[in-house]
Amino acid sequence: MRAELPRSTVLTRRTLLATLAAGIVSVPARADTRAPRVATLDWALLETLLAIGVVPVAAAELVLFREVAVEPPVPASVIDLGLRGAPNFEALRLARPELIFNSLYYAEAEPKLSLIAPVETISVYRSGGRPFAAACEAALRLGAATGEETAARALIAGVDAELGALKDRLAQRAGRPLLVINLGDARHFRVFGRDSMFGEVLARLGFANAWQARTSYSASAPIGLEALARFPEAFVVILRPVPPDARRILPESALWNALPNVREGRVAVLDSVDPFGGLPTARRFARLLAGALERGRIGAGGVFG
Amino acid sequence: MADLALVRPFAVRRGMAWGALFLLGLVLFALVLVRRPELAGDPATVRRLGDVLLWHSLVPRAATALLAGAALGLSGALLQRVLRNPIADPSTLGIAAGAQLALVLALAFAPALVAFSREGTAFAGGVAAVGLVMALSWRRDFEPVTVVVAGMTLSLMAGAASAALILARGDYVFSLFIWGAGSLHQQNWQPALVIGTRLALGVLAAVLLLRPLNVLALNDAGARSLGVAVGGMRCLVIAVAVWLAASVVSQVGVIGFVGLAAPAFARVSGARRPGEVLLAAPLIGALLLWIADGAVQLASAGDGDVIPTGAAVGLIGGPLLLWLLPRLPHHAPPMQAAAGTRRRLRRPGRALLVLLAATGVAGVAALVMGRDLDGWALASGPVLAELAVFRLPRIVAAVAAGGLLGAAGAIMQRLTGNPLAGPEVLGVGAGAGVGLAAALTLDPGAGTALLVGASAAGALGALVIVLVVAALTGFGPERLLLAGIALGCMGLAILSAVFATGGPGSFRLLAWMSGSTDKVGVDEARLMAVAALVLLAPVPLLVRWLDILPLGAAVGTSLGMPVTVGRLALSLLAALMTALSAFFVGPLSLVGLIGPHVARLAGFAPGRAFVLASALIGAAVLLVADWLARSLAFPYQLPTGLMAALIGGPYLIWLLQRGGGENG
Give tens-digit pLDDT for A234-270. Answer: 999 999 888 877 888 888 888 888 888 888 888 999 9
Select from B52, B115, B386 the Cβ nearest to the Cβ of A93. B386
For residues A275 and A215, membership in a common domain is answered with: yes
- Give how far A160 is from chain B: nearest CA, Å: 29
Kindly list the residues from chain B whose CB atom is less than 8 angstroms away from the CB atom of residue A107: 445, 447
Number of domains in chain B: 2
For residues A98 and A206, membership in a common domain is answered with: no
The residue in chain B having the minimum alpha-carbon distance to the alpha carbon of residue A80 is: B635
pTM of the model: 0.83
- Rounded CA-CA distance A200/B391 in Å is 43
Residue B36 sits at the vertex; the CA angle it makes with B285 and A226, to the nearest 5 degrees, is 75
Kindly list the residues from chain B whose CB atom is less than 8 angstroms away from the CB atom of residue A86: 167, 511, 516, 518, 637, 639
Cβ–Cβ gap B170/A61 under 8 Å: yes
B157 in any annotated domain: no
Maximal C-alpha separation, chain B: 89
- Rounded CA-CA distance B68/B245 in Å is 9
User: What's the CATH number where A23 sits?
Assistant: 3.40.50.1980
pLDDT-derived band of residue B72, with 50, 70 and 90 as boundaries?
Answer: very high
Kindly list the residues from chain A whose CB atom is less than 8 angstroms away from the CB atom of residue B639: 86
B357 in any annotated domain: yes
- Rounded CA-CA distance B94/B88 in Å is 10
Note down the domain range covering A37.
Answer: 7-123
Whether residue B247 contacts residue B124, with contact meaning beta carbons closer than 8 Å, is answered with: no
Q: What is the pLDDT of residues A136-161, one digit of tens each?
A: 999 999 999 999 999 999 999 999 99
Cβ–Cβ gap B37/A249 under 8 Å: no
What helix, strand, coil percent values describe chain A, rounded to 5?
Answer: 50, 15, 40
Kindly list the residues from chain A whose CB atom is less than 8 angstroms away from the CB atom of residue B168: 83
A298 in any annotated domain: yes
pLDDT at B143 over 80: no
Whether residue B425 contacts residue B484, with contact meaning beta carbons closer than 8 Å, is answered with: yes
pLDDT at B170 over 80: no
Select from A2, A79, A252 the Cβ nearest to the Cβ of B445. A2
Q: What is the pLDDT of residues B351-376, one digit of tens each?
A: 889 999 999 999 999 988 888 878 88
The residue in chain A having the minimum alpha-carbon distance to the alpha carbon of residue B174 is: A184
Kindly list the residues from chain A whose CB atom is less than 8 angstroms away from the CB atom of residue B178: 184-185, 187-188, 222
A140 in any annotated domain: no
Distance of CA B271 to CAs A21, A229, B67, B265, Å? 82, 45, 21, 9
User: What's the CATH number where B464 sits?
Assistant: 1.10.3470.10
The residue in chain B having the minimum alpha-carbon distance to the alpha carbon of residue A4 is: B445
- Rounded CA-CA distance B189/B56 in Å is 7
Select from A80, A188, A232 the Cβ nearest to the Cβ of B178. A188
Select from A91, A107, A216 the Cβ nearest to the Cβ of B373. A91
For residues B388 and B291, membership in a common domain is answered with: no
At which of A64, A88, A123 does a domain end? A123
Note down the domain range covering B467.
Answer: 349-657
Whether residue B583 contacts residue B435, with contact meaning beta carbons closer than 8 Å, is answered with: no
Task: Compute the average pLDDT of residues B521-549.
Answer: 86
- Among residues of chain B, what percentage have pLDDT more than 70? 87
**pLDDT in the model for residue A86:** 84
Instruction: Report the SS3 class of residue A237.
Output: strand
pLDDT-derived band of residue A75, with 50, 70 and 90 as boundaries?
Answer: very high
At which of A123, A151, A182 does a domain end? A123
Which residue of B193, B303, B584 to mutate against A (max A Cβ within 10 Å)? B303
A168 in any annotated domain: no
Select from B48, B370, B446 the Cβ nearest to the Cβ of A258. B48
Cβ–Cβ gap B303/A229 under 8 Å: no
pLDDT-derived band of residue B329, with 50, 70 and 90 as boundaries?
Answer: low
For residues B355 and B300, membership in a common domain is answered with: no
pLDDT-derived band of residue A95, with 50, 70 and 90 as boundaries?
Answer: very high
Residue (of B226, B112, B97) closest to B151 by Cα position = B97
Kindly list the residues from chain B whose CB atom is less than 8 angstroms away from the CB atom of residue A220: 303-304
Query: How would you classify the pairing of strands A99-102 and A38-40?
Result: parallel
Whether residue A183 contacts residue A189, with contact meaning beta carbons closer than 8 Å, is answered with: yes
**pLDDT in the model for residue B331:** 46
pLDDT at A131 over 50: yes
B664 in any annotated domain: no
Kindly list the residues from chain B whose CB atom is less than 8 angstroms away from the CB atom of residue A219: 502
B152 in any annotated domain: no
B123 in any annotated domain: no
For residues B410 and B482, membership in a common domain is answered with: yes
- Give how far A240 is from chain B: nearest CA, Å: 9
A155 in any annotated domain: no
Outline where B377-447 has alpha helix (H). 381-416, 428-442
At which of A65, A95, A123 does a domain end? A123
Cβ–Cβ gap B57/A244 under 8 Å: no
A146 in any annotated domain: no
At which of B306, B332, B362 does a domain end? B306
B606 in any annotated domain: yes
Whether residue B250 contacts residue B122, with contact meaning beta carbons closer than 8 Å, is answered with: yes
Cβ–Cβ gap B302/A227 under 8 Å: yes
Other C-beta atoms within 10 Å of A150: how many? 11
ipTM of the complex: 0.81
Select from B40, B56, B111 the Cβ nearest to the Cβ of A232. B40
Report DSSP letters for B597-616, one per residue. HHHHHTTPPTTHHHHHHHHH
Residue (of B58, B99, B63) closest to B193 by Cα position = B63
pLDDT at B6 over 60: no
For residues A182 and A298, membership in a common domain is answered with: yes
pLDDT-derived band of residue B241, with 50, 70 and 90 as boundaries?
Answer: very high
For residue A119, the cross-strand partners are A100
At which of B290, B306, B322 does a domain end? B306
A19 in any annotated domain: yes
Distance of CA B391 to CAs A89, A180, B142, Å? 9, 44, 43
- Rounded CA-CA distance B437/B308 in Å is 16
B22 in any annotated domain: yes
Select from A91, A217, A220 the Cβ nearest to the Cβ of B635. A91
The H or E element containing residue B371 is strand B369-372
Which residue of B36, B39, B49, B585 to mutate against A (max A Cβ within 10 Å)? B49
Chain-centroid distance of CA A47 in Å reads 8
For residues B467 and B530, membership in a common domain is answered with: yes
Residue (of A59, A247, A3, A137) closest to B445 by Cα position = A3
Interacting residues of B425 by C-beta distance below 8 A, sequence separation 6+? B149, B152, B153, B481, B484, B485, B488
- Give how far A60 is from chain B: nearest CA, Å: 9
Cβ–Cβ gap A88/B635 under 8 Å: yes
At which of B275, B306, B337 does a domain end? B306
For residues A178 and A298, membership in a common domain is answered with: yes
For residues B80 and B203, membership in a common domain is answered with: yes
**pLDDT in the model for residue B225:** 67
The residue in chain A having the minimum alpha-carbon distance to the alpha carbon of residue B392 is: A90
Task: Compute the average pLDDT of residues A195-206.
Answer: 91
Which residue of B188, B512, B583 to mutate against A (max A Cβ within 10 Å)? B188
Q: What is the pLDDT of residues B586-597, one digit of tens each?
A: 766 678 888 888
- Give how far B115 is from chain A: nearest CA, Å: 6
Kindly list the residues from chain A whose CB atom is less than 8 angstroms away from the CB atom of residue B118: 245
- How far does chain B reach from its first CA to its final CA, in angstroms? 52
For residues A119 and A201, membership in a common domain is answered with: no
Instruction: Report the SS3 class of residue B173.
Output: helix
Q: Name the average pLDDT for chain B.
A: 80
Cβ–Cβ gap B171/A67 under 8 Å: yes
**pLDDT in the model for residue A24:** 42
For residues B353 and B300, membership in a common domain is answered with: no
pLDDT-derived band of residue A34, with 50, 70 and 90 as boundaries?
Answer: low
Residue (of B309, B199, B195, B332) closest to B257 by Cα position = B309
- Give how far A244 is from chain B: nearest CA, Å: 6
Cβ burial of B368 (10 Å; 0-12, 13-18, 19+) is middle
For residues B395 and B517, membership in a common domain is answered with: yes
- Give how far A78 is from chain B: nearest CA, Å: 12
Whether residue A111 is preceded by a cis peptide bond, meaning omega within 30 degrees of 0, is no
Maximal C-alpha separation, chain A: 71
For residue A190, the cross-strand partners are A182
For residues B62 and B194, membership in a common domain is answered with: yes
- Rounded CA-CA distance B99/B243 in Å is 10
Cβ–Cβ gap B511/A85 under 8 Å: yes
Other C-beta atoms within 10 Å of B165: how many? 21
**pLDDT in the model for residue A22:** 44
Kindly list the residues from chain A whose CB atom is less than 8 angstroms away from the CB atom of residue B308: 222
For residues B636 and B491, membership in a common domain is answered with: yes
- Give how far B84 is from chain A: nearest CA, Å: 38
A-B contacts (CB, under 8 Å): 199
Phi–psi pair at B362, nearest 5 degrees: -60, -40
pLDDT at A19 over 60: no
Number of domains in chain A: 2
- Give how far A64 is from chain B: nearest CA, Å: 7
Query: How would you classify the pairing of strands A188-191 and A223-224?
Result: antiparallel
Distance of CA B37 to CAs A83, A177, A211, A229, B29, Å? 42, 19, 15, 10, 15
What helix, strand, coil percent values describe chain B, rounded to 5?
Answer: 75, 0, 20
**pLDDT in the model for residue A158:** 95
Cβ–Cβ gap B53/A82 under 8 Å: no
Q: How many residues does chain B have?
A: 664
Task: Compute the average pLDDT of residues B482-500.
Answer: 80
pLDDT-derived band of residue B413, with 50, 70 and 90 as boundaries?
Answer: confident
pLDDT-derived band of residue B539, with 50, 70 and 90 as boundaries?
Answer: confident
- Rounded CA-CA distance B57/A4 in Å is 45
For residues B384 and B299, membership in a common domain is answered with: no
A94 in any annotated domain: yes
The residue in chain A having the minimum alpha-carbon distance to the alpha carbon of residue B42 is: A232
For residues B275 and B398, membership in a common domain is answered with: no
The residue in chain A having the minimum alpha-carbon distance to the alpha carbon of residue B507 is: A85
B221 in any annotated domain: yes
Chain-centroid distance of CA B240 in Å reads 22
For residues B279 and B390, membership in a common domain is answered with: no
